[in-house]
Amino acid sequence: MLQAAALLTLMVGGILILAALLRLGFVANFISEPVLVGFQAGIGVVIVVDQLPKILGIHIAKASLLHNVQAIAAGASHASIPTLFLGGLTIAGLGVFKRFRPQWPAPLILIAAAVAGVAWLGWGQFGIEVVGAIPRGLPALSVPKLALAGDLWPAALAIAFISFTETAAAGRAFVRADEPRPRENTELLATGVANTLGALFGSMPAGGGTSQTAVNRMSGARTQIAGLTAAAVALLVMLFLSPLVALMPQAVLAAIVVFYSAKLIKPADFAAILQVRRREFLWAVIAVLGVALLGTLKGIVIAIIFLLAALAEQTANPPVYVLGRKPGTNVFRSRSREHPEDELFPGLLLLRIEGVVFFLNAQRVGGKIQPLIDEARARVVALDLSAVPDLEYSALKMLIEADQRLRDSGVELWLVGLTPGVLSVVQRSSLGETLGRQRMLFDLEIAVRNFQTLAEQSGTKSLTSAALTPRS
């Protein structure tokens, strides 16, 4: 069993190192800010619920979050009053230290006081549970059993993904505004090396720990010195201090974790997202529910799937705007009730498309444009493509067909503000030959000026700007 565990950890480390070398850390970029807010809150809920039984001094069979909540509620009547009092006192003590002496190492002081209480005052006789005996000395060298690699690789792959996902999410969730963003590929490499070396000493597969990170961060840790200090203390405990650590009350440890982890739940962040973007507020809520009810990995994956689905829906439905010109300027903006004074030009319809136009949305864009043309009864349609970074072949074909239909009905199509990539695509097609330089214009101001010149040359009435009548 130990050899299999060592091999599993070694394989996880190898997979993470390979992923770092292949620069796969970009996967972490799929975790958006609202998803991170939800991830933090979900992790906070899970940690608090997980630690409550220790503060209450009860034992439950742990399973899903809902099961644990029900079990805690059912067992609350059997709570150990001394244990609950000690846990509550620890939380209160942390609050006092934070308020009046924030620079002091409050968790260490409270743990030391609790150990002294168990050792000298006999708190154990009141039913307060302690950590218990911890083996002394350094772990023995473990030799992985390579023959099991064929059976363990699926599990190793899944664990490696979980390890990196939680590590990346925790790193991004706890970073402060004045600190550099975590480098995902470096995180992959570091976690992989740690697992590879740990496999030789009987370590289980590991990654970034959210509860440990929460306590570490909220205690004021800012650099790798905190991790090195923790490692040194752990080594010291294994060699010399395990009898003292064995006297540490479970309720005190749980209270410290709860105190710092509860800060991960930030209603103000949810309110800020809701105020600006309701759709992204939904992503945050999905992340909370996913992480809390299904676990870290599944919760993040589900939130990312919803996020990508929402982005796909936005991409498949790019906006098309009818434009007017702000009086006295060369600024063109979407027509709206807020700006009824904007200028338009009878006979000329100005339209703007925003976003990539490709096979998935080309027909929908065409379906949006045609009713606007029919309603305007324009003689020229100037299509502003300055906000279209790319034009796929299906979209190009849609424009070619639209140009043909418009010409058959006596309407001209002009393309305005083409980006270099879009211009290149159009010029290499039959549409480029049909339009020529006369109908591919640099900006909307030129389009308006050319239209007015053509109207004057054709002997029609002078076209002056008309006030915009808002739509109902």
Can you spell out the DSSP letters for 385-432?
EEE---B-HHHHHHHHHHHHHHHHTT-EEEEES--HHHHHHHHTSHHH
- Inform me whether the pLDDT recorded for 471 exceeds 60: no
Q: Taking the complete model, does pTM exceed 0.85, yes or no?
A: no
pLDDT over 50 (residue 48): yes
pLDDT at 297: 66
For residues 26 and 164, what is the distance between their CA atoms, to the nearest angstrom?
A: 11
Residue 96 token pair: 């006092």
Most confident range (mean pLDDT) of 39-48, 124-133, 345-354 is: 345-354
Higher-confidence residue of 297 and 224: namely: 224
User: pLDDT value at position 211?
Assistant: 64
Mean pLDDT of the chain: 85
- In this predicted structure, the answer to whether residue 301 has a pLDDT above a threshold of 80 is no
* pLDDT at residue 104 greater than cutoff 50: yes
User: Is pLDDT of 426 > 80?
Assistant: yes
pLDDT given for residue 6 in this prediction? 84
Contacts of 62 (CB under 8 A, 6+ apart): 50, 68, 71
Helix (H, G, I), strand (E, B) or coil at 205: coil
386 has a pLDDT exceeding 90: yes
Closest alpha carbon to 295 in 456, 62, 86, 461? 62
Contact, 208 vs 164, CB < 8 A? Answer: no
- pLDDT, mean of residues 340-344: 91
What pLDDT score was predicted for residue 460? 45
Rounded Cα gap, residues 286 and 283, in angstroms = 5
Strands 348-354 and 320-325: antiparallel
* Residue 462 scores a pLDDT above 50: no
Residue 472, pLDDT > 50, answer no
- For the segment 458-465, the average pLDDT, to the nearest whole number, is 46
Do 174 and 214 touch, CB atoms closer than 8 A?
yes
At 76 the pLDDT is 93
Residue among 119, 117, 133, 43 nearest 83 (CA): 117
Q: Which two structure tokens, joined as six digits, stand for 375?
A: 């309603």
Q: In whole angstroms, give the CA distance from residue 30 to residue 101.
A: 39
Output 18 or 241, whichever has higher pLDDT. 18
- pLDDT exceeds 60 at position 391: yes
DSSP string, 120-138: HH-GGGGT--B------SP
pLDDT of residue 260: 85
Percent of the chain with pLDDT over 90: 40
- Characterise 139 by phi-psi region: left (phi > 0), alpha (psi -120 to 50), beta (else): beta
Residue 238 has pLDDT above 50, yes or no: yes
User: What is the spatial distance between Cα 383 and Cα 396, in angstroms, rounded to a whole number?
Assistant: 13
Domains along the chain with CATH numbers? 2-311 (no CATH), 320-467 (3.30.750.24)
Instruction: Say what percent of the chain tops pLDDT 70.
Output: 93
What was the pLDDT predicted at 218?
Answer: 67
